[in-house]
């Protein structure tokens, strides 16, 4: 983020980053539209009266395409976005959401096999003298 950004600008940029993260997690069209809406709000901070400033909307379109694995330069687009995130936890969350190479965790086989008697090996109540 810019060093000279005001607190409301910083908050709106963080909201935009979180909106992109949400899309990265859900890949939902509604979340994509929300991220584009927030990007439009950030663009309006630029103060262009003719709405000529559209950096964040353009960037959001590129990011959403890269996240959906449809962009031409997916890694470069995502890399530029990650480089701009100054919050370590947010950056890690985005990286985790975008980890395409991650394989699902191996399921641990159950120790109890079907048909095993749960009480096997324990003395019965009658044998214990109760």
Per-residue pLDDT of 53-99, as tens digits, reads 788 999 999 999 999 886 568 888 999 999 999 999 999 999 999 87
Residue 14 lies in a domain: yes
pLDDT value of position 59? 93
Residue 117 lies in a domain: no
Residue 48 lies in a domain: yes
Residue 3 lies in a domain: no
Rounded to two decimals, the pTM is: 0.69
Q: Is 98 exposed, middle or buried (0-12, 13-18, 19+ CB in 10 A)?
A: buried
Residue 32 lies in a domain: yes
Which is nearest to 60 in space by CA: 82, 84, 32, 41? Answer: 32
Residue 39 lies in a domain: yes
Q: Which residue has the higher pLDDT, 100 or 37?
A: 37
pLDDT value of position 127? 61
Long-range contacts of 123-126 (CB under 8 A, 24+ apart): none
- For residues 49 and 124, what is the distance between their CA atoms, to the nearest angstrom? 85
Are the CB atoms for 12 and 42 separated by under 8 Å? yes
Rounded mean pLDDT of 100-107?
A: 54
Average pLDDT for the chain: 81
Q: Whole domain around residue 53: which residue ranges? A: 9-97
Could you read off the pLDDT of 17-28 as tens digits, one per residue? 999 999 999 999
pLDDT value of position 111? 58
Residue 112 lies in a domain: no
Number of domain units in the chain: 1
Residue 123 lies in a domain: no
- For residues 68 and 46, what is the distance between their CA atoms, to the nearest angstrom? 28
- DSSP string of 73-90, one letter each residue: THHHHHHHHHHH---HHH
């Amino acid at each position: 983020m810019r060093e000279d950004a005001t607190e409301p600008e910083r908050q709106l940029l963080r909201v935009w980053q979180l909106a992109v993260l949400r899309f990265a997690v859900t890949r939902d069209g509604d979340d994509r539209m929300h991220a584009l809406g927030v990007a439009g709000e950030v663009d309006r901070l630029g103060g262009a009266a003719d709405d000529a400033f559209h950096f964040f909307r353009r960037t959001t379109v590129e990011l959403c395409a890269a996240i959906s694995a449809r962009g031409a330069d997916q890694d470069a687009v995502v890399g530029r976005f990650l480089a701009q995130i100054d919050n370590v936890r947010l950056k890690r969350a985005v990286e985790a959401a975008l980890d395409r190479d991650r394989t699902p965790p191996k399921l641990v086989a159950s120790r109890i096999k079907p048909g095993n008697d749960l009480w096997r090996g324990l003395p019965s109540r009658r044998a214990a003298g109760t």
